[in-house]
Structure 1
């Protein structure tokens, strides 16, 4: 393993940064204190430019190397999740109902580590654009930053990102060309009937049987409407309705998520959910409303940039710990918007097997932060060679 020596020398500083961020989580676009911490560190390092307030609390900083060359974007997300922490760590969240359960504190730390090294050494041509992004977990801060024009404003030509991986051995870097994470859509179905006394169902139009029928029928989309060789998930995750055992409710609500990679498949699922809900409502004599929300597109790596990132990964962690044919995952990422705007690659960094992301016992493994920072640093020095 070829960790950059200088980055290894300030590993304890990186641990301190990461644990500070972990103790002070922020949600969605409201990452102002996190951004202030990032800006304070960047000023200490001596980066050339700092641009704040992008997507409300996002930051883009520029480091210029030795002479003309390309502009490469390196992205880290900053936001946490609305949940309570159960790690019991000394550096656990100090804010009830908020915690860094997806490693974004580690992602921010790795990019800060790379920034410190690259600012000190500047052994590259061109410019590095450091992208610190809010709201990956919610409204898509990556989308907002792209819509606000960061790619054009800073002349970014390629863009790269790393996400921690609690399902892979410590120090392993994994990626693949093409789709690596799925598109995500949400659906909400409201079944409306006529409520009344549970003892007199004939005087009502009970929405409950229709809701149950819709829930059952949704499962046929994957099993009967889809090529079995195409990845697709349709999960009904919420059903709510009723307030007491002797009351037939006016409404029942169903909600869930859809994950896919294929654009035509995505269209088909939206159509079938609507057809199933409308058809079942008609058969039960009740009304139905469908809200189908298209969220993040699939995260699709570009072939040339992924091949390049794989070569850099081999240099940092060795061939045995570099995986370049990772099976695509059904989770979603708003880095997808940046990869739609510019060529680049998304990678996973193994932190050792442990609680999954979004679990209350999850914690980023500080031991791998220098690996991520070294990967970013070597990627820039290789692509922007002097």
Structure 2
């Protein structure tokens, strides 16, 4: 089965929606315009219920099929953009400075709307489809916010599915990793407080900048000398801030970054060693170091059986030769993991012709995948809630 013909017939509308969302990006918890468009479209399509302002800007649409079954399947798309200035050169590039859909969430939202229109027209399923449009995926806790706002109590589901684009130059390649598929993540903030001085007399200082610089290199020894060799983990320092003048030794320096992991015990090991190294530096450099960790993402764990169901739906659209369940775990993180902590489900990836990496100012999502992704979402509902089988 190729792209569903009814969805293919709406490709022009999907393109219009996508271009509009791309040109008007909104970052996490600011998706007022985006969520308004989503809610308006769901009502236009004839959804049975449309609920807004969940966790601020989240939207949930409820669609009942022809049959009277009790099973409920959730489909989720994220809506937020990133604080990046776009350099793609597209004729529908971002019109907002320092805002860009550099991760393709505009495409994810469009694909789920494409499935919503098709399923609202056909209702060829037995049970209830729950469409979840989530804000603030990019490290701001949108999934946790929706869950805390009663997402799965107000709109319970038996299973939940999500999907992400992959700019791998392999159009319509559907991929999934069973089990632990994406890393958990902690963010860290470290404040080094020493004693400032005139730069011409550094002996009077306790140089926070020198200590912070040494910490950056020392942290990398954790992976090489404390981590079990067969475990996977990442430690990246991504920010260092200190100083305000050419002739002043700064009193304070700040370091920030992220650790990625697939097991809680590995996270605990990394955090413990970072704290111990900082304590040693306090003594060695004669200053004070504060360490703070924030748990941002859980490990994303795909259910084995439901991963097969996602692949089966994808195979209906892209063909058996274009599905793959052998891809390696990915050290990126995704807050759909929080939903999978509550409800079993699966999260797959759909390749497209683009090759510029995600989170890059020149990223371009190939719009040709929009009807493909929409069709996969639609087939998930039709396969998991088959008409005439309310079990």
- What band does the TM-score fall into relative to the shorter chain? over 0.9
SS at structure 1 position matched to 2:188: strand
State the aligned residue count: 386
| Alignment-derived partner of residue 335 in structure 2 | 334
In 2: Cα distance, 1:335 partner to 1:168 partner: 24
In 1: Cα distance, 2:151 partner to 2:102 partner: 27
| Alignment-derived partner of residue 36 in structure 1 | 36
Instruction: For residues 272-310 of structure 1, give each alpha carbon's deviation from its aligned partner in whole angstroms, at most 9, with x where no partner exists.
Output: 111101111111111111111111111111111111111
| Alignment-derived partner of residue 238 in structure 1 | 239
Is the CA contact (8 Å cut-off) linking 2:7 and 2:118 kept in structure 1?
A: yes
- After TM superposition, list the pairs within 5 Å mapping 1:1-386 onto structure 2: 2-66=2-66, 67-386=68-387
In 2: Cα distance, 1:83 partner to 1:212 partner: 27
The unaligned stretches of length 5 or more in structure 1 are: none
Instruction: For residues 216-271 of structure 1, give each alpha carbon's deviation from its aligned partner in whole angstroms, at most 9, with x where no partner exists.
Output: 21011100001111111011122221223322110111111101111100011111
Is the CA contact (8 Å cut-off) linking 2:139 and 2:296 kept in structure 1?
A: no
Instruction: For residues 26-60 of structure 1, give each alpha carbon's deviation from its aligned partner in whole angstroms, at most 9, with x where no partner exists.
Output: 11111111111111111111011001110101100
Is the CA contact (8 Å cut-off) linking 1:166 and 1:354 kept in structure 2?
A: yes
Is the CA contact (8 Å cut-off) linking 1:213 and 1:280 kept in structure 2?
A: no
In 1: Cα distance, 2:202 partner to 2:367 partner: 59
SS at structure 2 position matched to 1:83: coil
Structure 1 residues 46 and 134: alpha-carbon distance in aligned structure 2, compared to 1, 3 A threshold: same
In 1: Cα distance, 2:262 partner to 2:54 partner: 29
Instruction: For residues 59-81 of structure 1, give each alpha carbon's deviation from its aligned partner in whole angstroms, at most 9, with x where no partner exists.
Output: 00011002113100000111111
In 1: Cα distance, 2:252 partner to 2:168 partner: 40
Structure-1-length-normalised TM-score: 0.98
In 2: Cα distance, 1:261 partner to 1:325 partner: 17
In 1: Cα distance, 2:24 partner to 2:240 partner: 34
SS at structure 1 position matched to 2:126: coil
Structure-2-length-normalised TM-score: 0.96
Instruction: For residues 305-347 of structure 1, give each alpha carbon's deviation from its aligned partner in whole angstroms, at most 9, with x where no partner exists.
Output: 1111112222211122101121111111010111111000001
Instruction: For residues 81-113 of structure 1, give each alpha carbon's deviation from its aligned partner in whole angstroms, at most 9, with x where no partner exists.
Output: 111111121211111111111101100000000
Q: Which stretch of structure 1 is more off in the superposition, 156-165 or 234-243? A: 234-243
Q: Which runs of structure 1 show a deviation greater than 3 angstroms over 4 or more consecutive aligned residues?
A: none
SS at structure 1 position matched to 2:70: coil
Instruction: For residues 117-157 of structure 1, give each alpha carbon's deviation from its aligned partner in whole angstroms, at most 9, with x where no partner exists.
Output: 00000110000000011101131111111111211211211
Is the CA contact (8 Å cut-off) linking 2:136 and 2:142 kept in structure 1?
A: yes
In 1: Cα distance, 2:255 partner to 2:206 partner: 18
Q: CA deviation at 1:353?
A: 3.8
SS at structure 1 position matched to 2:289: strand
Q: CA deviation at 1:24?
A: 1.0
SS at structure 1 position matched to 2:228: coil
Structure 1 residues 170 and 139: alpha-carbon distance in aligned structure 2, compared to 1, 3 A threshold: same
Is the CA contact (8 Å cut-off) linking 1:69 and 1:384 kept in structure 2?
A: no
SS at structure 1 position matched to 2:243: coil
Is the CA contact (8 Å cut-off) linking 1:177 and 1:301 kept in structure 2?
A: yes
In 2: Cα distance, 1:205 partner to 1:383 partner: 64
Q: CA deviation at 1:189?
A: 1.3
In 2: Cα distance, 1:201 partner to 1:45 partner: 69
SS at structure 2 position matched to 1:328: coil
In 2: Cα distance, 1:155 partner to 1:204 partner: 59
Is the CA contact (8 Å cut-off) linking 1:80 and 1:98 kept in structure 2?
A: yes
Q: CA deviation at 1:179?
A: 1.2
